Amino acid sequence: MHEVFTKSMARNIYYGGSLFFILLFLALTFDSQTAIATRDNHENLTPQVAAGKRLWETNNCVGCHTLLGEGAYFAPELGNVYKRMGENKEAIKVWIKTRPVDGVPGRRSMPQFNFTEEQLDNIAEFLKYTSEINTNNWPPNIQG
């Protein structure tokens, strides 16, 4: 028998296919939204972390560093710096505090920001917080 591809068959494929992929899109969007809510560890989002994020933004750290892959490639990734520095907030604070005003000769160097002790605490809390976000193990190695 001679098979005929009719207009109504074409229409059914068009509407059926569209409906299928719209539903798939909605289901995956819902899945992403529910997964993200369990991963951002928002229960640890303290006022200190928020203040640290504000310092991160107002001092343009992202102009040199990446944070979880987002930012500039001049300086090391900082999403996991808390882990890289042995889960030690003090080490992060000391690093930021001791940057020489004139830079380090022959090296890419980081500015001296003259932060107060409280600001350093906030930044360290923020970097601890970012290191605890479930990112499916991004960055892939400890160096970032």
Residue numbers of the site for ligand HEC (CB under 6 A)?
59-61, 63-65, 74-76, 78, 81, 84, 92, 95-96, 104, 107-111, 113, 123
Closest CA to 74 of 138, 18, 144: 144
Closer of 40 and 76 to ligand HEC (Cβ): 76
Q: Kindly give, in sequence order, each residue whose CB lies less than 8 Å from that of residue 125, ignoring residues fewer than 6 positions away.
A: 46, 48, 49, 52, 89
Closer of 43 and 117 to ligand HEC (Cβ): 117
Least separation in angstroms between residue 119's CB and ligand HEC is 9
Q: Amino acid letter at 15?
A: Y
Least separation in angstroms between residue 59's CB and ligand HEC is 4
CB 22 within 8 A of CB 117: no
Residue found by looking up tokens 């059926």 in the block = 16
Closer of 1 and 106 to ligand HEC (Cβ): 106
Least separation in angstroms between residue 107's CB and ligand HEC is 5
Least separation in angstroms between residue 22's CB and ligand HEC is 43
CA distance 69 to 67: 5
Closer of 49 and 61 to ligand HEC (Cβ): 61
What's the start-to-end Cα distance of the chain, in Å? 64
